Copies of this chain bind each other. A is one copy, B any other.
């Protein structure tokens, strides 16, 4: 069989029903009455979910490894087994009111690829590893993407060991329970070497669904800038204070927010600009507000665009405005990450070969791939999700879309796992 035929053969073994059943089975662990999932990092539910994955892996004879932050590596051997592994995966922890697909899909699609390789009788040159990264959501222990952050070497476990959840349990205690409970083949002391990493994920946005496209070849992860703006005026009686004598923080804030929306205009509709949080003091109907604080979340795939808009935003939010004092501080800076063209093209070609409709798009959300990209050639595959909704119990993806994404993942991984690739 030539490479093309081998991939078509493999894709025939990707089992839509099995993949869907696995999603439903995993979603039982931490299931919410609303149909969603609450399975936070390193919880009893997370441990149960790890047991489920390990059980499936054991039945196929894959090697189970973990590391100091409890990332779970499920490794299918390659013909040249000492070579760097091709990797895929995502995370199995959820938000407190999470859905059944965010994260879970990337892990289950990876396992589906490994099993399809078995079923199709295909041996790859390089091993292939499915990773379940620990604590991507960050809802129980800050920060999020902890497993991939530590894997990438950007941070160390001991920096977070003392971080506690709402009940006062420390990360190190929760980590110990999880590591003790897992039946693994070995504990890695050093980072396994990845040849490449491909993460499959629901889009968590509306673009693919709106355009009726099956596969997103993700070009990178947008850069993000978070700001907090503070507008300080003077509170006074709503009935007695003439308009000309006011320093009304809400009217000043409204003018600023209107100008910021103008600054954020983008005819290409690539810039994302959100003022998600607004806090008014004292927030009483008959008192002129003395303070308004609001947040800005701005994202774009190009660093230069972020720099230019940031300059204009900071200028507008500094100094006096409408009789109030205005200040701004940047609270998060995450530069854009561009995935290598070679990886994006592989995903695109794999989709075209299926065939599945495909478009290139950047990721609006963060993912573990953002940090793994520091270490090895990295890419992502998006599939549509209903109404673009995620981080919500109503999150939904079509079984056929999940399967199409798994086939594109299979084709991409197998291509990368060839010794000359």
Contact = CB atoms under 8 A, between A and B. Distances in A.
B283 A236 contact: no
A364 to B, nearest CB: 3
Contacts of A224: 239
Given A254-B258, A276-B289, A278-B278, A241 B295 contact: no
A236 B209 CA distance: 15
B203 A240 contact: yes
A205 B240 contact: yes
B365 A239 contact: yes
B283 A241 contact: no
Contacts of A244: 269
A284 B286 CA distance: 26
A121 interface: no
Interface stretch (A50-58, A156-164, A386-394, A403-411): A386-394
Interface stretch (A29-37, A245-253, A304-312, A346-354): A245-253
B237 A250 contact: no
A275 interface: yes
Interface in A352-398: 363-366, 388-391
A243 B269 contact: yes
A286 B296 CA distance: 8
A168 interface: no
A237 B276 contact: no
Contacts of A276: 238, 250, 280, 283-289
A145 interface: no
A226 interface: yes
A241 B289 contact: no
B238 A297 contact: yes
A206 interface: yes
Interface of A: 203-207, 210, 222, 224, 226, 236-245, 248, 250-251, 254-255, 257-258, 261, 264, 266, 269-280, 283-289, 292, 295, 297, 299, 363-366, 388-391
20 contacts: A203-B240, A205-B240, A207-B242, A210-B245, A222-B239, A236-B388, A239-B365, A240-B272, A240-B364, A240-B390, A241-B272, A248-B274, A254-B261, A274-B288, A276-B289, A277-B283, A277-B284, A278-B278, A279-B283, A286-B297
